[in-house]
Chain A
Amino acid sequence: KAGVTQTPRYLIKTRGQQVTLSCSPISGHRSVSWYQQTPGQGLQFLFEYFSETQRNKGNFPGRFSGRQFSNSRSEMNVSTLELGDSALYLCASSPLGGYGYTFGSGTRLTVV
């Protein structure tokens, strides 16, 4: 079966712009989590959605937002981009949340 698909794979944006990243979970998975990976911080939890509702949120500013659609696909939006937002953004899906996550390959965002 198809894995978790993240688009685009690479993105270059300018400071102050906004960006939207997309994640298509494994068919049947209803939980989608987003993580930011940077060299020094490792994987940091952004938020988790289940059945179109945000269930958990990490310690990121309000510029980071997300949503989930009825087909479980999820989008993450970052507004007013800063240089420090440059990172690999990973999406993971699981049937109900918690364990059994499958990760996508990520979207590499570079802010210049």
Chain B
Amino acid sequence: DQQVKQNSPSLSVQEGRISILNCDYTNSMFDYFLWYKKYPAEGPTFLISISSIKDKNEDGRFTVFLNKSAKHLSLHIVPSQPGDSAVYFCAASEETSYDKVIFGPGTSLSVIP
């Protein structure tokens, strides 16, 4: 039973446009969310995070939105660049178990020049 879901296995976006990656979770105890980016043959790298006390966090071209009532978060990349092509993992953890981070299956983003 996946607690963190990314229902779109892949996404293609034109360079310069917005990329929106979605993530849903089932565990209402999750209160910290992270996005990781993974290039082929490399380990995932941390991208951006958000705590449940906020509904938006921004870092340059990357913005994460959290809708707690819907148990949904999304990562927006504006503008998208070819170097953003990678697999994006959504991850979550709960206050009582910060050392156990649960990852979603990932969404493969292709940014077309």
Contact = CB atoms under 8 A, between A and B. Distances in A.
Interface of A: 4, 31, 33, 35, 40-45, 48, 50, 55-56, 58, 90, 92, 97-106
Nearest to B91: A43
A56 to B, nearest CB: 4
B83 to A, nearest CB: 19
Interface residues of B, number: 24
B43 A106 contact: yes
A64 to B, nearest CB: 15
A99 B105 contact: no
Contact of B98 (A4, A40, A99): A99
A33 B103 CA distance: 13
Given A35-B103, A45-B103, A105 B98 contact: no
Given A33-B101, A48-B99, A48-B100, A101 B89 contact: no
Contacts of A40: 105
Interface stretch (B44-52, B55-63, B71-79): B44-52
Given A42-B89, A43-B106, A100 B99 contact: no
Interface string B28-56: 00001010100001111110010000000
B97 A56 contact: yes
Interface in B56-113: 89, 91, 93, 97-106
Contacts of A43: 44, 89, 91, 103, 105-106
Nearest to A3: B43
Contacts of A50: 99
A62 to B, nearest CB: 19
Q: Which 10 A-B pairs have the closest CB atoms?
A: A103-B43, A42-B105, A98-B98, A97-B99, A43-B103, A56-B100, A42-B106, A103-B44, A104-B43, A105-B43
Contacts of B43: 4, 90, 92, 102-106
